[in-house]
Amino acid sequence: MFTRMNDSPSDKGLRVFANRLRVRFAPSPTGFLHVGSARTFIFNWLYARHNGGTMILRLDDTDVERNTEASVQSIFEGLKWLNLGWDEEYKQSERLGLHREMANAIFEKGVAYRDFTPAHAEDSERSGAQGPWLFNPGMPELSRPESDRRAAAGEPFAMRFRVPRGDARPVSFVDAVYGEQSKSTADIEDFALLRSDGMPTYHLASCADDAGLSISHVIRGQDHLTNTFKHILILEAAGIAPPQFAHLPLLIAPDGSKLSKRRHGAVVSVTTYRDAGFLPEAFVNFLCLLGWSPKDNRERMNGKELVETFSLEGINRANAVVNFKEGATSPVNAQAEETFDPKAVWLNAEHIRALTVEDLSNRLTPIVREAGFNVTSEKMLQITPLVRERIKLLRDVLTVADFFFVDRLPAYDPAELIPQKGDADMALRALRRAHEVLAQTEFKHDPLDQALRAAAQELGLKAGQMFQPIRVAVCGRKNAPPLFETLEVLGRGTTLERVKQAVEKICTAV
């Protein structure tokens, strides 16, 4: 919890939220919503809800060069799909005054200095990771009078934090996940607070806003673990007590590299999961299981259970692999299930089966309609129980139940109509007899079952030998939902028509 200390840069912007648990998710709008970011959002949200705290969304948009409105929209789109919500919303770019005040306060205190080195035109092959380590990436510090003179002359400068070096000391904090952390100031460079265009850097803006918004717990990716030492330094200089930190292990690709859209494709974007037919609750569940465990062997959990069970103690420290298939193409196609982490797909199927028929039906209907089929809600309600245990992703309904939606069956191989250990003649006999039986049997499960079994016996066929040709005739393929339920939904007219067509198909094929 932030407690105000003396010396704070300003009272403006430092609203005091009395002793409440407040967390934030602070994405920078430079791309789509990444699965790793989504998980960070979820963990923050869970922590807030579990403890009755406040969830804040803050757009960290201080990098004017890279931010785009499209990205803002795409992040909202992803978050909206997650369907978790948040309580307060801010934009860093609207809080610049606060950031500058903090920078100036630190400068006036003598803990920061101006660096007039021109900004490097950043290039991709920034190999600064080699060579000797520089405590000051820019230029040596100028005397204050000269610094003032050049600043007054209008020369642009970046503002750097002067990290104690000759009198190096350890900077430490306790991370809720990684435990005690410590690093010597001798190993921390003079990082920038303000860019030469006057915009704050991430470090400064983040600290100022976390303080300003009274963030009590900063839960973020482990890539910020070492940055935290800088943040502690900033906070110290500004006279503000640091929040509680909890760093999350990172989500990585099967090859151990970090998730990147360029290298790994659409599987790293949240909306891809939405478009492929994942249930948001299943996706959230899946992400939770990456780097966190309820420790009681539970896998499928709904939102309520997650909120009840979630704790920072359950978070582990090793990076987690999102086990998708490398090099997969568009996930919204027939191979979708091969593309995603198998566990995500399985969990989705689990959640689908846990849905009520009405709920599932409501989620399936728009997908079917968008695919160009006219289907009434009533009919979807009938079809849903037949597909529920056969689909893993919502979109699978299009391939599993297609024959319910079309007027004419797509072409299929007449050989499919021939039953096990049978021939074309057997198929013909079965179908002709089926046509007669179906013409006069009530289209309900039990009567159909009895009549068709009796017919099979009459013809000296095994039940399967009777049913299979009918199944293929009405579904156009061998693998389909149970026959009698299917016929019931299809109705007599369609059924008889398709059986008749099957008979003709065999005749012309022979």
Partner RNA sequence: GGCGCUAUCGUCUAGGGGUUAGGACGGAAGAUUCUCAAUCUUCAAACCCGGGUUCGAUUCCCGGUAGCGCUACCA
Q: Which two tokens stand for residue 229?
A: 């030492």
26 binds RNA (CB under 7 A): yes
What phi, psi does 51 have (nearest 5°)?
-105, 10
Q: Which of residues 394-433 bind RNA (CB under 7 A)?
A: none
Q: Which is nearer to RNA, 45 or 178 (CB)?
A: 178
330: left (phi over 0), alpha (psi -120 to 50) or beta: beta
38 binds RNA (CB under 7 A): no
Q: Which two tokens stand for residue 507?
A: 């005749």
Contacts of 316 (CB under 8 A, 6+ apart): 177, 249, 291, 292, 293
β-pairing, 217-221 vs 244-248, is parallel
The kind and range of the H/E element at 23 are strand 22-25
Q: Which is nearer to RNA, 263 or 369 (CB)?
A: 263
Q: Which of residues 194-233 bind RNA (CB under 7 A)?
A: 195-197, 199, 201-203, 206, 222-227
Q: Which is nearer to RNA, 91 or 435 (CB)?
A: 91
What is the secondary structure of 413-457 as a DSSP string? Answer: -GGGGSPTT--HHHHHHHHHHHHHHHHHS-SSHHHHHHHHHHHHH
In the block, tokens 């673990």 appear at 225
Q: Which is nearer to RNA, 19 or 335 (CB)?
A: 335
Q: Which of residues 354-383 bind RNA (CB under 7 A)?
A: none
β-pairing, 192-194 vs 179-184, is unpaired
Q: Which stretch binds RNA (CB under 7 A): 71-79, 151-159, 369-377, 490-498?
A: 151-159
490 binds RNA (CB under 7 A): no
Q: Which of residues 64-123 bind RNA (CB under 7 A)?
A: 66, 115-120, 122
Residue 287: CB minimum distance to RNA, A: 10
What is the secondary structure of 469-488 as a DSSP string? Answer: HHHHHHHSSS--S-HHHHHH
Q: Which is nearer to RNA, 122 or 423 (CB)?
A: 122
185 binds RNA (CB under 7 A): no
What phi, psi does 25 have (nearest 5°)?
-115, 125
Residues annotated catalytic, as ranges: 261
Residue 176: CB minimum distance to RNA, A: 12
Q: Which of residues 235-294 bind RNA (CB under 7 A)?
A: 249-250, 252, 254, 256-258, 289-293
Q: Which is nearer to RNA, 365 or 486 (CB)?
A: 486
Distance separating alpha carbons of residues 115 and 107, to the nearest angstrom? 12
Residue 291: CB minimum distance to RNA, A: 4
Which of 193, 270, 238 lies closest to 34, judged by CA?
Answer: 270
Q: Which of residues 130-149 bind RNA (CB under 7 A)?
A: 130-134, 137-138
Q: Which is nearer to RNA, 71 or 365 (CB)?
A: 71
343 binds RNA (CB under 7 A): yes
13 binds RNA (CB under 7 A): no
Contact between 74 and 271 under an 8 Å Cβ cutoff? The reply is yes
Q: Which is nearer to RNA, 195 or 264 (CB)?
A: 195
Residue 494: CB minimum distance to RNA, A: 17
Residue 168: CB minimum distance to RNA, A: 12
295 binds RNA (CB under 7 A): yes
Residue 321: CB minimum distance to RNA, A: 3
Q: Which is nearer to RNA, 4 or 429 (CB)?
A: 429
Residue 441: CB minimum distance to RNA, A: 15
In this structure, which long-range contacts are made by residues 183-187, counting pairs with CB atoms below 8 Å and at least 24 apart in sequence?
A: 183/226, 183/229, 185/233, 186/135
Q: Which of residues 46-75 bind RNA (CB under 7 A)?
A: 60, 62-63, 66
Residue 508: CB minimum distance to RNA, A: 25
Binding mask 449-478 for RNA (x = CB under 7 A): x-------------xx--xx--x------x
Q: Which of 3, 69, 126, 262 binds RNA (CB under 7 A)?
A: 126
Neighbours of 348 (CB within 10 A): 27
Residue 231: CB minimum distance to RNA, A: 10
Q: Which of 33, 111, 158, 489 binds RNA (CB under 7 A)?
A: 158
Polymer length in residues for the chain: 510
Q: Which two tokens stand for residue 393?
A: 């992703």
Q: Which stretch binds RNA (CB under 7 A): 7-15, 103-111, 273-281, 342-350?
A: 342-350
Q: Which of residues 306-325 bind RNA (CB under 7 A)?
A: 314, 316-321, 323
What is the secondary structure of 28-75 as a DSSP string? Answer: -SSSS-BHHHHHHHHHHHHHHHHTT-EEEEEE----TTT--HHHHHHH
Q: Which of 480, 497, 500, 501 binds RNA (CB under 7 A)?
A: 480
Which of 422, 486, 487, 488 lies closest to 456, judged by CA?
Answer: 422
